[in-house]
Amino acid sequence: MNSVGEGCTELKREYDQCFNRWFAEKFLKGDRSADPCSELFLKYHTCVQKAIKEKDIPIEGVEFMGPNREKADS
Amino acid sequence: IKQWLNQIHPWETVTKAAMQKYPNPMNTSVFGVDVLDRNVDQRGRLHSKRLLSTEWGLPSIVRSIIGNARTCTYIQEHSVVDPKEKTFELQSTNITFTNMVSVDERLIYRPHPEDPEKTMLTQEAIISVKGVSLSSYLEGLMASSISSNAGKGREAMEWVIRRLNTEIEELAITARGTLRTPMAAAAVTEK
């Protein structure tokens, strides 16, 4: 699957691979350890945000919380 | 529009597959999926915000109104996975063409109440069309498209699940032929 930012697809794939592995093997099995993908996500995220700005995509209210930051219940 | 569908796989399998749903041969209009944000809340639930980039074939009658220019539409999706309660809930809405049409979808995957080895999907879509005189035509078109998409959705899940199982098989074959790595060993025991 591609990214909306053509140059971000490779970064996306690396992050996805890391996330999918953690999701299936840890998270869904009740393991509460944080995912090891923060660095990959940051690189990927920076690239995508740039693409979104360039393409003028009207994203609603997304603040970068980061994959491991605990968030208050909304 | 409300639909209930049964998947014959356990909730964990379906959730894994649903998280990696695209690409699949049944949803060719989705050409991009991006994670905008992700975090785990205090209740241990995983929140994900994603952007779906789609190119849907608009009927020519609509093209003649909005012009051929852009048929690319973007959808923003917010999902929550609760591994304790075993629910995977997704909500999505289009963020482009909002002045014309609004398609809000809500999907919830949870273990089937009668058979915990199966998964039940509840799906709801609310479509509103604004300020277009062909509103009933368009609504009818979208409603039937969403209905047939629901069946396609199940096929799509089956396809992704088969693909994931094949990957595990391939890893197992590699492990038998070479030195075991921890990853391959985990895949073999999972199977």
Does a structural domain hold residue B65? yes
Q: What is the residue-wise DSSP string for B53-83? A: EEE----HHHHHHH-SS--EEEEEEEEEEET
Q: Could you say which of B33, B49, B84 has the minimum Cβ distance to residue A1? A: B33
Which residue bears the tokens 């963020």?
B95
Closest CA to A5 of A43, A54, A41, A64: A54
CATH, residue B7: 3.30.530.20
Number of domains in chain B: 1
Does a structural domain hold residue B89? yes
Q: Tell me, yes or no, if A32 comes closer than 8 A to chain B by beta carbon.
A: yes
Q: Could you say which of B37, B43, B83 has the minimum Cβ distance to residue A30? A: B83
Does a structural domain hold residue B102? yes
Q: Compute the nearest-CA separation of B3 from chain A (Å).
A: 26
**Residue A68 to residue B39, Cβ atoms within 8 A:** yes
User: What does the pLDDT look like over B99-153, one tens digit per residue?
Assistant: 777 888 899 999 999 898 999 988 888 777 765 444 455 566 666 666 666 677 7
Does a structural domain hold residue B184? no
* Confidence at residue B3, expressed as pLDDT on a 0 to 100 scale: 66
Does a structural domain hold residue B98? yes
User: What does the pLDDT look like over B22-50, one tens digit per residue?
Assistant: 888 877 788 899 999 999 999 999 999 99
Q: Return the SS3 of A2.
A: strand
Does a structural domain hold residue B172? no
**Residue B51 to residue A59, Cβ atoms within 8 A:** yes
Domain residues for B48? 2-166
A13, A28, A44: best to mutate for the B interface, most B CBs within 10 A: A28
The one-digit pLDDT tens for each residue of chain A (74 residues) are: 899 998 999 999 999 999 999 999 999 999 989 989 999 999 999 999 999 999 889 887 654 444 444 444 44
Q: Tell me, yes or no, if A31 comes closer than 8 A to chain B by beta carbon.
A: no
CA B71 to CA B55: how far, in whole Å? 6
**Which helix (H) or strand (E) is B48 found in, with range?**
strand B46-55
* Confidence at residue B124, expressed as pLDDT on a 0 to 100 scale: 84
What ipTM is given for this predicted complex?
A: 0.82
